Structure 1
Amino acid sequence: MTTRKYKDLVEQRTRQTLEEWSKLPSVEEKDIHRFLHNLKGTAGTVGLKEIEELAEQTQPLFGDDSRKEWLPVEWGRYLYPLLALLNDNASSALKPSGLPDGNKTEDARPQYEILIIDDDVQLVAYLKESLEKNPYYVSIALSAERGLKIFYESKPDMILLDIMLPDQSGIEVLNQIIGKAKKERIPIIMISAEHSKEVQMHAYSLGVMDFIKKPVDIDIFLTLIQNRFELKREWQESIIVDELTGAFNRKHFNQTMKQLLSDYRRTNRVFSLVLIDLDHFKAINDTYGHLAGDEVLHSFTEFVQASIRLEDVFCRYGGEEFALFLPNTEASSAKLVVERIQRRFSAKEFRTKKQAFNVTFSSGITEVKAGEEQHAVKLVEEADKALYASKHGGRNQTTIYTEQLLATKFDSVLNVIIIDDDALVRRIVTSEFADWKPSNMAKVNISSYASGPEFLQSDWYSSEEKYVVLLDGIMPELDGIEVLERIRGNYPQENIVVIMLTGRNNQADIVHALQMGADDYVIKPFDMNELMLRIERLAFRFLF
């Protein structure tokens, strides 16, 4: 693993910070503390041992919540010695060397998703690159607010959480998520330079699985992550009930599908599969809170379980999506059952402290068919196609799969927009996406713009459509950060996913972009297959 570029990044950031501070009349003490805190962890991780040691010795002199103003002549006595160490460590001229291009992978799709909540962007980038060389997909949150949003919306497989965050402490974040994480069996690992015995004991008492001290030994770190995911896999294989809702889980779904297909091949006993999706569930979470959303999921499971036969099998398929197996039942009869549940459930009233609301669901049904080769993937695809027809037919309805649905064109449109002043990049991306046909999308529009003003002045947005914006970080006239600010400030976030495209000399753009709401970043030059996988993952996590 190349660490020189990370050393250059740390050195460049340190020089830049000290240079900027030297121009200010004073600097708040808490800002100096945070700077040294981050420097200690990152410098040690990338092998700048002397800088790590000096930062560690100096940090206790500055309080983490003090607003005392330090003059340049005062703080300089403690921080300017870092510059001498930087000169000693420099093996080459300092060049902006960007963030890691950890986007290339041999696997078609990562196995596990890891959420890192930490505001030290150099360390986060280093960990991201290291992890994504393995079968992991990494989401980044530089603040507690962003981390909580990603946690509730994407349900990561693991969380790496720093104690010191800009908006609230990691312990406060831990208190908010630990209950749900335990129910969902999501391991949480604290990773921090703040590792007193008291802090570690408190974190363990709250339920974290591990506590990793900064600086991080990357080889031990990667081995630990692999070990914890192996343990998680063993957990998942040992249970068949989803603890949050009480429905059966995907493991039992797969077992039931295998059993019913085997039975059908022996006896020709028909069965139906129903895929169910709660309507506008993201809006429920956003409007009434995630605790209310969890209550809806749990109540829905109880409602369905009380409405079906003992031989029927109800599973949580993922997120707000469920599956129902109805043995010895044709699709037409299954439709009557599901529609009865629909009518009754839509009349159920949920209450918060301030108001009441109702919830509906859409569903799609398919049945195992005589004379055809039956397999699990085909049945799920058919039920999913029928479910999609229900959602685009107005929701709160049930559709039976037919061959005619294959030819049906729904009005769902995904727009992929490339904003980059490099004509070659625009041409490559446009060409690659021209034949991209993601599932359940009637149409994908590809468009490109050579500058931010050209894009912003165009009639690009429709509230009825969805967007993935690939945005270059550095452009003439209006840079990518300014374009991102306009997008996030003037348009609804739920309709638009933004992926920053960055070269190796715009580290600051990445920091700002993640803070301002970019959903991901990709390093130039990038692998097109990986880019398409990232777009598909983000689009269907946040848009559909």
Structure 2
Amino acid sequence: MSTQKYKDLVEQRTKQTLQEWTEQPHITEKEIYRFLHNLKGTAGTVGMKEVEELAETTLPYFSDDSIRTWRVEEWGEYLYPFIPVFSAAPSALAVKGPVASLEQDTLYGEQQQNEILIIDDDVELVAYLKESLERQSYYVSIALSAERGLRFFYESKPDLILLDLKLPDQSGMEVLNQIIGKAKKERIPIIIISAEQSKEIVMEAYALGVMDFVTKPMDMDLFIVLIGNRFEMKREWQEAIIIDELTGAFNRKHFNQTIKQLISDFRRTSRIFSLALIDLDHFKKVNDTYGHLSGDEVLQAFALHVQESIRVEDVFCRFGGEEFALFLPNTDAASAQVVIRRIQETFSAKEFKGKNEAFHVTFSCGISEVTKSENEADKLVEEADQALYASKHAGRNQTQLFTELLTESLSGAVLNVIIVDDDILIRTIVTHHFSGWKPANISHIRINSFGNAQEFLDSGWYSPEEKYIILLDGVMPDLDGVEVLERIRGAYPEVNVLVIMLTGRNNQADIVHALQMGADDYVIKPFHMPELLSRIERLAHRFLF
């Protein structure tokens, strides 16, 4: 469905609603508020800028809590002006960032988007920073507490951190002391943003290793330039280094160089090689149970164990987080499987200690082999990744080889995308775009939508064997979206359910409450589909299996 068709639907629905209301003796103020609230979000999403702006300026005249009723001659003064706006320029209302299809290369290609983690409980400032930075094509995660900030840091490995010194549960300096060592090893710049300006605090922060100390209030133009400068510096660091300092394995840069070199060699000489993708099983549980220092020790011990178990010509890389990759030149997939299974057996017997108790760690692995028909880097990685998922799906601590029949055996891998929004047009647009989404390792996507929050809660939507991404409207007529979020987080394991709140631009109270209750992210209405889809793709990458 084209963008113009969506615009026509918005216009048709608006005129139809006004016509129906004209025939009624009175309309409740709550109905008018909901109408304007939905129109603002939907019009902005499909690129009807003038309609969005008129809805935004009209909305403050009405309240969602009022019990007042309005006669047609009263509400008509505010709502009839929408009709000529629709008629003015039916096809000239498109703005930059139109609704896009899932096939766009910029959504799911290799385009790099730097991730910034903001740890600050000043909701208004955080929302402003998020909007300003994402306008510059950065991806922004938000933590309103030290505890959530630490969790984000260890789980998502951001590219840069903005840290406030005043947090509700512990001081920013305490957080800094906990993360600075790992941040230095991973070369993650930390910028303090604080109203605190004492010389002693600033000196302490710099002595610990922060890159910059920016005082509030900040000049946003200068701040944006500073962020860009630090990312350019980080890029130069990464280009100069090929060793992952935490584990001693080669890094992702060297991985990319190696696979290109091996493929080029294969095309020239027909010399085969195999690629093994490795993922430590239940590593998040290790961090949660024994602490992140123990987790780092496991990563280091695993890397050392593999390096001591392979040949000189083999190349071992840290692929990201607890994921690793091993290139085995002159080795077919079956022989590579023998090597990996031997490493699995010896590593699983290794004993670790944390919190005065012993524990063991295993890993899963998927292997692909270069062939004349499959000798593209992306395809080889995708095949190894599918085999890795098959190992996890089969119970973990296993090694699987990629075969053409493998994807058929994964037919049970289901991802559910659920849209809970009382605006039928929003549900239609989002459902349409997700119908073409095909994330890696998922053979089937099930899309469902609900216009009523209670209907969703009562639908029996959850199955523990499946994964869920829920897009949840923040304002609905029957149940508040944050209340629905609270029920989800109280009843279902967070590891299986990712929740993204869809919220109004000025609804700061809902934003802070949603983040505190465990929302994984929020998107401000009106939104453009490319923004929403790329955001979900990024979250899903670390959420799925």
Q: What's the TM-score once normalised by structure 1's chain length?
A: 0.79
Counterpart contact for 2:115–2:140, Cα < 8 Å: yes
Matches within 5 A, 1:20-35: none
Distance in 2 (alpha carbons) for counterparts of 1:190 and 1:211: 5
Distance in 2 (alpha carbons) for counterparts of 1:420 and 1:363: 40
Counterpart contact for 2:386–2:440, Cα < 8 Å: no
Counterpart contact for 2:414–2:442, Cα < 8 Å: yes
Distance in 2 (alpha carbons) for counterparts of 1:104 and 1:213: 37
Distance in 1 (alpha carbons) for counterparts of 2:191 and 2:61: 31
SS at match of 2:405: helix
1:251 aligned residue: 253
1:278 aligned residue: 280
| Pick aligned residue for 2:136 from 126, 134, 137 | 134
Q: Give a deviation string over 1:231-271, Cα, whole Å, max 9, x none.
A: 10111111111011111101111121122222222222111
1:43 aligned residue: none
Matches within 5 A, 1:208-219: 208-219=210-221
1:354 Cα deviation (Å)?
2.6
Using CA pairs below 8 Å that are at least 6 residues apart, which structure has the higher relative contact order?
2
The answer on 1:223 being equivalent to 2:199 is no
Distance in 2 (alpha carbons) for counterparts of 1:132 and 1:402: 40
2:77 aligned residue: none
SS at match of 2:397: coil
Distance in 2 (alpha carbons) for counterparts of 1:340 and 1:96: 71
| Pick aligned residue for 1:201 from 200, 203, 210 | 203
Distance in 2 (alpha carbons) for counterparts of 1:214 and 1:148: 23
SS at match of 2:306: helix
Distance in 2 (alpha carbons) for counterparts of 1:438 and 1:459: 25
Counterpart contact for 1:276–1:321, Cα < 8 Å: yes
1:235/1:96 Cα in 2 relative to 1: closer, same or farther (>3 Å)?
farther
1:339 Cα deviation (Å)?
0.7
Distance in 2 (alpha carbons) for counterparts of 1:470 and 1:367: 39
Counterpart contact for 2:353–2:359, Cα < 8 Å: yes
| Pick aligned residue for 1:173 from 162, 172, 175 | 175
Distance in 2 (alpha carbons) for counterparts of 1:245 and 1:105: 43
Distance in 2 (alpha carbons) for counterparts of 1:212 and 1:116: 13
Q: Give a deviation string over 1:413-464, Cα, whole Å, max 9, x none.
A: 1111111122222222222222322111122111122222212222111111
Counterpart contact for 1:389–1:410, Cα < 8 Å: no
Distance in 2 (alpha carbons) for counterparts of 1:329 and 1:349: 30
Counterpart contact for 1:115–1:140, Cα < 8 Å: yes
AA aligned to 2:418 is I
1:462/1:141 Cα in 2 relative to 1: closer, same or farther (>3 Å)?
same
1:529/1:274 Cα in 2 relative to 1: closer, same or farther (>3 Å)?
same
Distance in 2 (alpha carbons) for counterparts of 1:110 and 1:522: 20
The answer on 1:482 being equivalent to 2:456 is no
| Pick aligned residue for 1:296 from 285, 298, 304 | 298
Distance in 2 (alpha carbons) for counterparts of 1:104 and 1:288: 47
SS at match of 1:198: helix
SS at match of 1:185: coil
1:177 Cα deviation (Å)?
0.6
Matches within 5 A, 1:112-191: 112-191=114-193
SS at match of 1:403: coil
Q: Give a deviation string over 1:1-30, Cα, whole Å, max 9, x none.
A: xxxxxxxxxxxxxxxxxxxxxxxxxxxxxx
1:356 aligned residue: 358
Matches within 5 A, 1:64-463: 95=60, 108=107, 111-369=113-371, 371-372=372-373, 374-463=375-464
Q: Structure 1: which 5+ residue stretches go unaligned?
A: 1-91
* Identity, % of aligned positions: 71
1:353/1:406 Cα in 2 relative to 1: closer, same or farther (>3 Å)?
closer
Counterpart contact for 1:103–1:522, Cα < 8 Å: no
Q: Structure 2: which 5+ residue stretches go unaligned?
A: 1-56, 63-95, 101-105
Counterpart contact for 1:105–1:132, Cα < 8 Å: no
1:510/1:96 Cα in 2 relative to 1: closer, same or farther (>3 Å)?
farther
The answer on 1:467 being equivalent to 2:468 is yes
1:373 Cα deviation (Å)?
5.7
1:315 Cα deviation (Å)?
0.4
Distance in 2 (alpha carbons) for counterparts of 1:241 and 1:110: 20
Q: Give a deviation string over 1:175-225, Cα, whole Å, max 9, x none.
A: 111011111110000001111111110110111000011111111111111
Distance in 1 (alpha carbons) for counterparts of 2:181 and 2:98: 35
2:504 aligned residue: 503
Moved more, 531-540 or 221-230: 531-540
RMSD over aligned CA atoms reads 2.1
Q: What's the TM-score once normalised by structure 2's chain length?
A: 0.79
Counterpart contact for 1:103–1:129, Cα < 8 Å: no
Distance in 2 (alpha carbons) for counterparts of 1:247 and 1:344: 19
1:542 Cα deviation (Å)?
2.8
Q: Give a deviation string over 1:101-147, Cα, whole Å, max 9, x none.
A: x9999953552000011111111111111111223100011111111
How many residues are paired up? 448
AA aligned to 1:486 is R
